[in-house]
Structure 1
Amino acid sequence: MAVTFAASSRAFAQPARRRRSARRNLTGWAFAGPATALVAGLSLFPAVWAFFISRAKWNGIAPATQVGWANYQRLATDPDMLAAARHTLLLTALFVPASIFLGILLAVALNQKIRLIGFYRTCIFVPYVASAAATGILAGFVFNPQFGAANDVLRHLGIPAQQFLESPSQALYVICLIALWGEVGFTTVIYLAALQDIPRDLVEAARMDGAGKWRVFRHITLPELRPVTVFTAVWQTITAMQLFDLIYTTTRGGPLNSTQTVVYYIYELAFQTQRLGYGAAAAYLLFAVTFLLTLLVIWYGRRRGSEVF
């Protein structure tokens, strides 16, 4: 009799728990559902619409003319697109390793027990939260060839003044330097949090075995940071390949198109020359390349034993 009563009690309690769980889920979705639908709609609808535009010739006013895959085929032989791709790849190749290296270096320095450490950490992170447009405008004054602070420093060091953002051979490197100044705070904070999550027992055991600081860093710290490095590499790769605001506020793709990246070229196609179909095709090509590079970094990280995604 007791066994029968207990079984019937459990059978009655299970539907009640399911009803309570369903009620909680419905309450949660009632709050989160409208915002989720709005974000998804604003993200998915433009992406799908842009794909259809990429297969047409359209200036935004006259009726669109369907051209199939002609826009994508034309991108493969467009000299301006190829030049923009080279600039983007060079910027990415410079920016991503430098941001990772500086992030680790600054994180290790800021992980020490020193006075005013909170102030130093804040100073490193402030450029990241500052507006990128404001950063670009400020950098335009700093690197001005006539009255900029950068050339003043060089003159005091006995180095000839440079053209910086007005030089076709220097402008892209200066853009990379400005981007690093604004983004290194992000990588520093990520690595600082990862350093503080490393088990102290590993470090103490290595030191008791006679390992110095360099060996501890090389054989314990760096392997423990590997998953974070994969994430940072993916994030910074996407950041570099989509860099627009700094270029817009500093060089506008010049001089002589030496800083024209793929994103800025897309902006010129779509909003300055009104070639919306061609610009949408270029945007989808950028998405495909970014996606493939991201998969490559994740695959390499997993081959090295770092599964972060």
Structure 2
Amino acid sequence: MAVTFAATPRTQQESAPRPPRRRGRAARRNLVGWGFAAPATLVVVGLSIFPAVWAFFISRTKWNGIAPATDLGWRNYERIVQDPDAVAAAKHTLLLTVLFVPGSILLGILIAVALNQKIRLLGFYRTCIFVPYVASAAATGILASFVFNPQFGAANEVLRRIGLPTQGFLENPNQALVVICLIALWGEVGFCAVIYLAALQDIPAELVEAATVDGASRWRVFLHITLPELRPVTVFTTIWQTITAMQLFDLIYTTTRGGPMNSTQTVVYYIYELAFQTQRLGYGAALAYLLFAVTLLLTLVVMWYSRRNGSESLR
């Protein structure tokens, strides 16, 4: 004898498609959300894409901002390679990046490890580390220009007290770029420390405890567990600090203005001089686009290298 079961109303309700009324409500909610977000989105996109496209057209012209522009094609880009000032500015930018990026990452990791311990006044120390990053870079540069002043600066006063010879610092062509790098590290290392501190607190405690039980020392735990877990954060900070170093302008403007003897003239400051002091807007825009291309290329190389090493380590 066959037994048949009738579908219950609940089963029929679950198997039935979503009513058109619910779909209409979801569509109206999406439209309302886009209605609030669309104006701000258009403003942000317009203020970023339109100037970039307009700057590209300017980079192919000779224009001083007043007279009609003259089309030059790609000649502005060809002149960059033959410009000794542009080559010197590129070397200064490269040196600043090589000094700043590894230094900020290394100091950030060390400070984050120290602030990840259970010590007294921990919140106060963390605040002190992050305050220089929040402070204005222009104010930092003005303060540093007084600290490193060769005549009455606090840095030379300390050297006099301990019996060491005074230094020229920002007025010495051989020291000015290194001093600017130290000032930039003082202002930016707090960002790296906070990022690494958050990453350290996300590392599973079970991994560290298991390695400790197996007899691993603190150094081996840090080398084989902590550092591999920090790899994504290191990639992010490397890219971020590279962009920061290559676009450093405010510290140079408030301390040396590219001097002495153009020893601290970076690419960004050279672009500023071309565009706003000599009114060579076309050539300055071309150099700015070249800087963007180099920054993008370095970012892609760092990401590719990190993924390649990560995949090899998994093998």
TM bucket (normalised to shorter chain) is over 0.9
| Distance 1:56-1:7 versus aligned 2 partners, 3 A rule | farther
Deviation at 1:8, TM superposition (A): 7.7
**C-alpha offsets along residues 184-217 of structure 1, whole Å, 9 cap, x if unaligned?**
0000000000000000000000111111111111
Identify the residue that residue 48 of structure 1 maps to in structure 2: 53
| Distance 1:175-1:3 versus aligned 2 partners, 3 A rule | same
Structure 1 unmatched runs, 5+: none
Q: Structure 2: how far apart are the matches of 1:68 and 1:305?
A: 43
Give the alignment of 1:142-291 within 5 angstroms. Answer: 142-291=147-296
SS in 2 for 1:13: coil
Q: Structure 1: how far apart are the matches of 2:236 and 2:65?
A: 38
Question: Is residue 64 of structure 2 the alignment partner of residue 59 of structure 1?
Answer: yes
Q: Structure 1: how far apart are the matches of 2:199 and 2:131?
A: 20
Counterpart AA for 1:169: N
| Distance 1:9-1:198 versus aligned 2 partners, 3 A rule | closer
Counterpart AA for 1:107: A
Q: Structure 2: how far apart are the matches of 1:236 and 1:108?
A: 19
Identify the residue that residue 29 of structure 2 maps to in structure 1: 24
Q: Structure 2: how far apart are the matches of 1:12 and 1:205?
A: 51
**C-alpha offsets along residues 27-78 of structure 1, whole Å, 9 cap, x if unaligned?**
2212211111101100000000000000000000000000000000000110
Counterpart AA for 1:31: F
| Distance 1:229-1:2 versus aligned 2 partners, 3 A rule | same
Q: Structure 1: how far apart are the matches of 2:22 and 2:294?
A: 48
Q: Structure 2: how far apart are the matches of 1:188 and 1:67?
A: 47
Counterpart AA for 1:92: T
- After superposing the two structures, state which structure 1 stretch, 26-35 or 191-200, moved more: 26-35
Counterpart AA for 1:250: T
Counterpart AA for 1:222: L
Q: Structure 2: how far apart are the matches of 1:97 and 1:133?
A: 23
The TM-score with structure 1 as length reference comes to 0.96
Identify the residue that residue 3 of structure 2 maps to in structure 1: none
Deviation at 1:23, TM superposition (A): 2.0
Counterpart AA for 1:153: V
Question: Is residue 100 of structure 2 the alignment partner of residue 110 of structure 1?
Answer: no
SS in 2 for 1:229: helix
Deviation at 1:282, TM superposition (A): 0.4
Q: Structure 1: how far apart are the matches of 2:22 and 2:305?
A: 45
